[in-house]
A = this chain, B = another copy of it.
């Protein structure tokens, strides 16, 4: 786990149809850490005009997966085992920013946490926090 597996991180953002559809963009990646951004549009909202909790869960899970993927050796992949997310405030604004960070990198399990901030004008608030458990699997899942 000594070099950043940039190929795998980029594949997660470029080859996942749901992520392209959602509009989730990779911002930066370092070893065990990943940042992503989502420019908000009407299609991300729930029935009362707030960002849907499912959008936030997807963003947290995927960004955490990328933080984990940055650590796996070539030939190995990351598969989500479970995640949990607290929605701290109703989110409304121009963009969501997510930072995910690996807090334990095991041989078979990786745990990452992810924070989502919502930018509305000059304001930026923490709107959600997640913990994500990921399994490290071989090539042929």
Contact = CB atoms under 8 A, between A and B. Distances in A.
The list of the 8 closest CB pairs from A to B, nearest first, reads: A54-B58, A84-B84, A18-B52, A88-B104, A57-B57, A53-B80, A15-B47, A16-B47
Given A50-B141, A81-B87, 16 more contacts: A16-B47, A18-B45, A19-B46, A22-B54, A53-B80, A54-B62, A58-B58, A79-B90, A81-B86, A83-B84, A84-B84, A84-B85, A86-B133, A88-B104, A89-B104, A103-B129
A48 interface: yes
A78 to B, nearest CB: 10
Main secondary structure of the interface of A (DSSP, over half): mixed
Nearest to A136: B108
A61 interface: yes
Interface of A: 11-12, 15-19, 21-22, 42-48, 50, 52-55, 57-59, 61-62, 77, 79-90, 103-104, 108-109, 111, 113, 126, 129, 131, 133, 135, 141
